[in-house]
Amino acid sequence: MTLFVGLGNPGSQYENTRHNIGFRVIDKLVDNSSARDISKTSFQGKLNRASNSLFLKPTTFMNLSGKSLQAVKHFYKVELDEIIVIHDDIDLPFGAVRFKKGGGHGGHNGLRSIDTYITKEYLRVRVGVGKPEHKSQVSDYVLHNFSDEEAKVLDKLIAHVAEACKLLVSEELNVVKSKYSLKTIEGLSI
Alpha carbon 67 to chain centroid, angstroms: 16
Let me know how many helices (H) and strands (E) the chain has, helices first: 6, 7
In which element (H, E) is residue 88 found?
strand 83-89
Active-site positions read 19
CB-CB contact of 58 with 50 (8 Å): no
Residues 6+ apart with CB under 8 A from 7: 19, 22, 23, 58, 62, 65, 85, 86, 87, 88, 110, 111
CA atoms within 13 A on the CB side of 61: 3
